Structure 1
Amino acid sequence: MATLEDGVSPNQTVVPPGDVIEDARRRDYLKIAAVSVAGVGAGVAVLPLINSMNPSADVLALSTTELDLSAIEPGMAIKASFRKQPLFVRNLTPAEIAEADKVPVSSLRDPQTLEDRTKEGKTNWLITLGVCTHLGCVPLGAGEGENRGPFGGYFCPCHGSAYDTAGRIRQGPAPTNLQVPDYAFTSDTVVVVG
């Protein structure tokens, strides 16, 4: 036992030097263990949140749309659905193709040729999203008897945007052409969009 002569009061106990080091190691071990358990717990708590950001099965099922084009006559258009948005598929006549080709690209707000907007060898098939690029309204012109506007393509009744036969903006507030989604022909009459 330590005495007053050693500089220790009678109420204090002296801990041997080896015990202090052992307590510090134990304390460090407990800190590391607590942080590790908290990290694993946080990971387990965040995993469902991150997993909820993955697309659901119904969204994955709608990620592509297959269309049979055999019933669409030249000059006709159909409305379909692609990822819960309207999709316009139009079989252009030779006159509509010629009309689109004679427009000087430099005069267009969003310069694109008809060939830029269609597949090689399939310039008669114009496939666009049926969403006006101004505020997202659905333009007219794909249904039978609908107003196609002054350029013979599509007309947005919300704010008067007019698109030509190639789906290019020609008049009105829309800043860009109707969007062309990714698509591929799997045969002469079947196209897969997406």
Structure 2
Amino acid sequence: MKLLSSKKIQMTLPSSNSKTYLELVDGRCEELHFSQVNPTKFTVNDSEFSFKTGATVELEIENVDLVATSQVLWPGQQVRVRGGVHGQGQPIKASATIPLGKKMADGVQADSFLYWVIETPEGTFHNNEPIHMKGRITGLPPKDATFHSEGTIAIFDEKEDRVGTLYGCLQSN
């Protein structure tokens, strides 16, 4: 059963901080600390409701625009991450699950599946499998929330050659 009207709701997350480990195939590694360049825009889509499980709120993240200054891999140079329409060309999918009998304000599980375009001094990299981020949110936009990833994600250059991995992704809003 549909929970909301068929209208889509536009929202903005004004600021966030992120970090990730970027390890290149030659073994060089750095923990990069990113700040948000532009506010993240996202759309809250119509939601599904089930009398057995509760509600699932679907989101589309329109843009991710982050920048870090490298200290180890490319000292003093910028690494920029873009995602969404201005990154890989498609919105990033996310969702929040509200169990039956709970409200979002109680704190609910949220998941996002990130595809990044990573601009580095050595070239532009991307991931073919999403970075699965998990966190707990108490509202939208997800202020005062922290999301984390598990496992490693391979990254590739423009020729689809594997150039390294990402892991330990963390985002705080």
TM over 0.5: no
With the length of structure 2 as denominator, give the TM-score of the two structures. 0.27
Larger helix percent: 1
Larger strand percent: 2
Q: Of the two, which has the highest radius of gyration? A: 1
